[in-house]
Structure 1
């Protein structure tokens, strides 16, 4: 009986060790708080800050017609302006995603005045999926895309309520 118990403990420990080595998309982060995010669309660069210190920087893909402020549903533009990270989706079709509070009141009012919808569901999310041209940058419908591995870092580091500024 002692021998069987020891074997179970040893095998259980090995199994837990292997699970710990698995590449989990749910990473943990215990470094400095991300206090703000900035995206520079022209440079395709996303920066995570703690105060004035850059913690991480990522190359991005944007909407299929990225330049100019997103105004309407389906325009393929990535928004510009000040927003907030307001939700997360662990079951995203694009690996993981965190939501951006577009459209804000001004975005909604502008689109409504034009008789159009502002669109929405703008996220920072993981990488490309099947049937998306791997050569062509700026393939999203207006979102900000990074690699799956980078998205795992961002998902762990950024909390809901973090401000994001998106510049030209």
Structure 2
């Protein structure tokens, strides 16, 4: 009798645990943040800081446009570590971080040699780790524009698209 009761409890327990991972609402389902893309190649990225826009471009056609947030000091170009500015100029996409604390992130090749030299001449460091990234939990908790330390932020669904569409070596032009 006790064995039958324990067996029943074990079966009920397994059924309860199994149902947690397959609810109809999808609330407990892991979200796949990696998308596929088979459209035209992104040949350049253009960022217009004053308009708060990022454009993915293939040859001369705009494929996608995104509203963006910038560094917490959005006017002017990045010069030094900790200045809160988003860099300006021509860079390249140079890395991808699928484990970013901001959902996903795509690296920008800042600092360039001239950025390092300028900062060094002032006895300072140029900073680094500039990315296009999503919000992640931290970004979603912030309820204001221009909250990054110098990166370019979009929402999590948008960085999933960008992450899938962009390849290493693509030039990115960041305008004031």
TM range (shorter): 0.7 to 0.9
Partners of 2:46 and 2:30 in 1: how far apart? 31
In structure 1, the partner of 2:137 is 129
Unpaired segments of 5 or more residues in structure 2?
1-21
- Checking the alignment, whether the CA contact within 8 Å between 1:132 and 1:139 is kept in structure 2 is no
Shift of 1:66: 1.1
- Checking the alignment, whether the CA contact within 8 Å between 2:98 and 2:104 is kept in structure 1 is yes
TM-score normalised per structure 2: 0.81
Count of residues in correspondence between the two structures: 150
Moved over 6 A (4+): none
In structure 2, the partner of 1:49 is 57
Deviations 1:113-152 (A, max 9, x none): 0000000000000015348763310000000000000000
| Larger Cα-atom Rg | 2
Partners of 1:126 and 1:135 in 2: how far apart? 14
Alignment of 1:141 with 2:138, yes or no, is no
TM-score normalised per structure 1: 0.85
Unpaired segments of 5 or more residues in structure 1?
1-14
In structure 1, the partner of 2:76 is 68
In structure 1, the partner of 2:108 is 100
After superposition, the CA RMSD in angstroms is 1.9
